């Protein structure tokens, strides 16, 4: 049997990771045989994540501090000679699905579970410019609570990308995979920034990761031995692909970046992220906050005012700047969220520096000020499940 990390520049494991119970793998193997009449050739795992500091700033280009959780997506896979993808799920709530590899259709209006797999598949397919790919049988088993804020959807996209890469026998680095999967998840309509996919591939046991973008890189932020992080379950679900709520926040920040760039005489047309404006201006975060306070008024902007400021038509705003699921819903935009982004980024820098300078507090209680930095953001968050340890990402199991 092959390791699913065969397609990645890392050393494969020749046995199942200890955090994957043998009973779970055996049950998955038996269900696969019952469904497809054969045994899987390899298994792929991608974990969910929790973010410690840096909520809603990755899509602004700013750094985040997530860590992987033990809950994950696990896929048993078998390449087949046909050109058909057959997908099944151990959860009976998610129906079987099949499609031709040459007819990948992702419906943005219906974020069904199989569409996330197709995102990962299509991302690898388009990266290599391939057609007529080999088909595959895949059985998905996930224990990340869905729509919970723990990145079950991104974990599935990452798993699918790695399954496809492995089935093709091709090679990419973890960083390349993370970037491809971050881009390909946007096929389903969400305009995410890349944190979820990055930590799913780059996480390591016992450490959080400082994730930075442009270029993507990850730095260990060592967690104290014995520390316990508890993420409470609010029992509120939020499927960010099913509503426009998430993308509205992204669009607020994108428009703020364009308005700032225009106000400062920069070429605003290609600007997408606030960090790009800061870099072009060559100012600090503290100075950037002053720039925002000076350039953007606190009252909501309506589309007509934005068009007037940018010198564009309403049609161009809708079709060339806004995402499809925000084009007809945004009647006015509050640009107060970009202000919060800069506050959180400042807090993030300070919190990360504190962890770096004091990597081994004498007790978990020493982390309380750090974990409370974004208390209000956590209170607004969706469902969170209990998590007691960090675990490595993307390990493959071989029988």
The residues carrying an active-site annotation are: 196
Residues sharing a CB contact under 8 Å with residue 256, sequence separation 6 or more, in sequence order:
274, 292, 296, 335, 337, 338
- What is the secondary structure of 311-374 as a DSSP string? T--HHHIIIIIS-GGGTTT-S-B-THHHHHHHHHHHHHHHHHHHHHH-SS-SSGGGGHHHHTTT
Q: Is the peptide bond before 215 cis (omega within 30 degrees of 0)?
A: yes
- Residue 196 CA to residue 149 CA, distance in Å, equals 10
- Residue 138 CA to residue 74 CA, distance in Å, equals 10
Q: Which of 225, 245, 218, 255 is nearest to 335 (CA)?
A: 255
- E-only strand ranges, 228-336: none
Residue with tokens 């860590």: 67
- Residue 93 CA to residue 38 CA, distance in Å, equals 23
| Sheet of 84-89, strands arranged across | 42-53, 65-80, 135-142, 84-89, 97-100
Size of the chain in residues: 399
DSSP 217: E
Q: Which of 331, 251, 261, 247 is nearest to 292 (CA)?
A: 261
DSSP H/E element including 244: none
């Amino acid at each position: 049997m092959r390791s699913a990390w065969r397609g990645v520049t890392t050393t494969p494991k020749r046995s199942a990771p200890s955090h994957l119970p043998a009973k779970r793998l055996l049950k998955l193997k038996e269900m696969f045989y019952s469904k497809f009449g054969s045994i899987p050739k390899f298994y792929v795992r991608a974990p969910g994540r929790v973010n410690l500091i840096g909520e809603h700033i990755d899509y602004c280009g700013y750094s985040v501090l997530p860590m992987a959780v033990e809950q994950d997506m696990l896929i048993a896979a078998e390449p087949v000679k046909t050109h058909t993808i057959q997908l099944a799920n151990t959860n009976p709530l998610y129906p079987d699905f099949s499609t031709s590899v040459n007819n990948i259709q992702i419906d943005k209006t219906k974020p069904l579970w199989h569409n996330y797999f197709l995102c990962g598949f299509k991302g690898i397919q388009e990266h290599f410019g391939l057609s007529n790919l080999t088909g595959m049988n895949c059985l998905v088993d996930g224990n990340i609570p869905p729509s919970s804020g723990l990145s079950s959807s991104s974990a599935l996209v990452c798993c699918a990308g790695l399954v496809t890469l492995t089935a093709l026998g091709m090679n990419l680095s973890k960083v390349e995979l993370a970037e491809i999967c971050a881009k390909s998840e946007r096929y389903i309509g969400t305009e995410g920034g890349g944190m979820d996919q990055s930590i799913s591939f780059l996480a390591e046991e016992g450490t959080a990761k400082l994730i930075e973008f442009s270029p993507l890189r990850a730095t260990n932020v060592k967690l104290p031995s014995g520390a316990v992080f508890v993420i409470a379950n609010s029992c509120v679900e939020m499927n960010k692909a099913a509503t426009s709520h998430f993308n509205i926040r992204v669009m607020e920040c994108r428009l703020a970046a364009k308005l700032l760039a225009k106000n400062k005489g920069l070429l605003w047309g290609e600007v997408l992220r606030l960090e790009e404006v800061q870099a072009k201006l060559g100012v600090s975060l503290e100075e950037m906050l002053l720039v925002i306070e000076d350039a953007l008024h606190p009252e909501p902007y309506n589309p007509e005012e934005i068009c007037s400021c940018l010198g564009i038509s309403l049609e161009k705003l809708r079709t060339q700047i806004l995402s499809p699921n925000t084009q007809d819903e945004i009647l006015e935009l509050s640009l107060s969220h970009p202000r919060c982004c800069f506050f959180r980024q400042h807090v993030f820098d300070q919190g990360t520096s504190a962890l770096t300078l004091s990597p081994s507090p004498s007790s978990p209680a020493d982390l309380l000020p750090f974990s409370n930095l974004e208390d209000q953001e956590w209170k607004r968050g969706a469902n969170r499940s209990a998590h007691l340890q960090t675990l490595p990402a993307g390990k493959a199991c071989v029988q």
